[in-house]
Amino acid sequence: MSRIALVTGATSGIGKATAEAFAKAGFRLILCGRRQERLDALAAALATPTVTLQFDVRDFSAVSSAIGSLPSEWQSIDILVNNAGNAHGLSAIHEGDVTDWDAMIDGNVQGLLYVSKAVLQGMVERQKGHIVNIGSVAGKYTYANGAVYCASKRAVEAISEGMRLDLTQHGIKVTNVAPGAVETEFSVVRFKGDEARAAKVYEGFDPLRPEDIADTILYAVSAPAHVTIADITLYAAAQSAPTTIHRK
Ligand code: NDP
Ligand code: 8X3
């Protein structure tokens, strides 16, 4: 039977591209997000058995009841891609909005932990599995006005390391993927719907595309059994650090 992959944040950007790449590779898919209509449209477009789960990753009881409600033939999840997350705002620390901080810490960190907890019990019982956490170059270098988002992504790196230490003995691989600037809805969310400001982030250079990250994730989960791809950083060719971009 083909492997089952659960992808969070599959309604947009990197998660959607990952679902598409995984479908082409023949995986069965569990697609998660809050926007059910987008999940339905994606599931209908993919030529692979797919189920959808609607939940907010910040709500542990919604996460665990959605994943616990999967039919028995869908419960043996082989691959978890912890991709759901966003930046909210771009402000100096003394001007930051507490609601934005909560959304980033609760979504990017707690949400990743909640979904992992719900999936890991079965992986440990089966003594096999693969978790791919979507970190960021923001987790490697802090940039001005981004302290809380960067902290959330540094936490993802620490959790990836800790997971690897705890789970290797249970036959579970852990991969941390750290992309630079990828043109998705990320900046539209960060700037609260200001599309003109979001477009400026990607002006004057050729940014990463969500498909580039999806290819990398597919590479990591396709490695031979004896190989763990532990950590991958990828930038657009014009970028060398989060705020160092060669624009034409
Ligand atoms: P998008 O805004 O395009 O996609 C974000 C996805 O996350 C959506 O599917 C959204 O689904 C989901 N999501 C966000 N918050 C929640 C939540 N609380 N509960 C459930 N789902 C949620 O952005 P990207 O594709 O760019 O972002 C995906 C990941 O990649 C994020 O973790 C981001 O931090 C990371 N990343 C992005 C980079 C970039 O430059 N774009 C670079 C490095 C890392 P819905 O709204 O339907 O719930
Ligand atoms: C998203 C990339 O550099 O805007 O994680 O933080 S960056």
Average pLDDT over residues 226-243: 98
Q: Which atom of ligand 1 is nearest to the CA of 138?
A: 43
Q: Whole-model pTM?
A: 0.98
234, 216 in Cβ contact below 8 A?
yes
pLDDT band at residue 90 using 50, 70 and 90 as cut-offs: very high
**Residue 17 corresponds to which tokens in the numbers above?**
């591209």
Range of the domain at 62: 4-245
pLDDT tens, position by position, 31-85: 999 999 999 999 999 999 999 999 999 999 999 999 999 999 999 999 999 999 9
Which CATH number do you get for residue 73? 3.40.50.720
How many domains is the chain partitioned into structurally? 1
Q: How far apart are the C-alpha atoms of 19 and 151, rounded to whole Å? A: 27
| pLDDT of 10 above 90 | yes
Helix/strand/coil for 108: helix
149 labelled catalytic? yes
Chain mean pLDDT for the chain? 98
Would the CB of 179 count as within 6 Å of ligand 1? yes
Q: How far is the CA of 9 from the centre of ligand 1 (A)?
A: 6
- Residue 180, Cβ neighbours under 10 Å: how many? 21
Would the CB of 146 count as within 6 Å of ligand 1? no
Q: How far apart are the C-alpha atoms of 53 and 45, rounded to whole Å? A: 16
